[in-house]
């Protein structure tokens, strides 16, 4: 692109679309249970091979968000908006420093 104003509009659209996808995917991930592995018997290979993390992430928030938005479009449902929930600000400072 040679026109700076056109490039500016393009990058603004890309930034907004990315923010939307991440917010929808993050909201969907927050609504999921922490893990489904505890329902499997100990002898299942999937449970033995699973990472030892409490919640292994299979899709990024952006990927999950894009999939949910596309699925809503295909099913002709209202589009998900997503939201960001900020983490609470710490109320005290730790005594240990750098």
Neighbours of 43 (CB within 10 A): 7
Domain assignment of residue 19, yes or no: yes
Helices (H), 1-98: 4-31, 45-49, 61-74
Domain assignment of residue 16, yes or no: yes
The token duo for 85 is: 């929930």
Element (H, E) at 63: helix 61-74
Q: Tell me the pTM.
A: 0.64
Domain assignment of residue 15, yes or no: yes
Domain assignment of residue 74, yes or no: yes
How many structural domains does the chain have?
A: 1
Over residues 51-97, the pLDDT tens digits come to: 555 556 778 889 999 999 999 999 999 999 988 766 677 777 666 65
Q: CA 65, 62, 54 angle in degrees (round to 5)?
A: 95
């Amino acid at each position: 692109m040679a026109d700076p104003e056109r490039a500016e509009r393009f990058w603004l659209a890309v930034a907004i679309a990315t923010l939307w996808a991440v917010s929808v995917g993050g909201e969907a991930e927050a609504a999921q249970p922490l893990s489904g592995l505890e329902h499997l018997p100990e002898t299942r290979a999937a449970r033995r091979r699973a990472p030892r993390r409490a919640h292994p992430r299979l899709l990024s928030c952006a990927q999950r968000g894009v999939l949910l938005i596309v699925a809503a479009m295909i099913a002709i449902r209202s589009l998900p908006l997503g939201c960001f929930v900020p983490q609470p600000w710490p109320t005290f400072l730790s005594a240990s420093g750098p």
